[in-house]
Amino acid sequence: MFSLTVRDHFMIAHSFRGAVFGPAQALHGATYVVDLEVRRPAFDPDGLVVDIGLATQVLREELARLNYRNLDELPEFAGQNTTTEFLAHALFQRLAQRIAAGAMGPHAVPGSASGGLTAMRVSLNESHVASAAYEAALGR
């Protein structure tokens, strides 16, 4: 299996509900370093997993929707504790939709003539000692 990883970051504010979160129940900020890893069993016709520039651009566009935002105020996250794990999954879903729509090029689309991307992992690093990720197959 071949893979390609690109990295970016974003900054948000949010709060959590529930005693388990202690002081994080209050509004606080977080800066996440995000790794997007995409995989496929064979190269595309251009000898790539996916174009690095397109992968970087798509990740940057998705993170821009959240950057410098208070996640508590976004309707799409209403009623959710936007934990690191939750955000990894939410970003995975958005990126999977973008890939399926061709945003990373026609050869990246799962099930395309060239096979397309078959799996993806989205990792959010909230510090140098803690991270969370979500990974799954694409195109199912």
What is the residue-level pLDDT of the chain in tens, covering all 140 positions? 999 999 999 999 999 999 999 999 999 999 999 999 999 999 999 999 999 999 999 999 999 999 999 999 999 999 999 999 999 999 999 999 999 999 999 999 998 888 899 999 999 999 999 999 999 999 86
Find, among 31, 61, 60, 56, the residue nearest to 131 by Cα: 31
Look at the pTM and tell me if it is higher than 0.75.
yes
Instruction: State the total domains in the chain.
Output: 1
Domain extent for 90: 2-137
Q: Helix or strand or coil: residue 36?
A: strand
- Quickly tell me which residue has 């936007």 as its tokens: 82
The CATH number linked to 42 is 3.30.479.10
Taken in order 99, 102, 108, 111, the sign of the CA dihedral is: positive
For the CA atoms of the chain, what is the radius of gyration?
Answer: 16
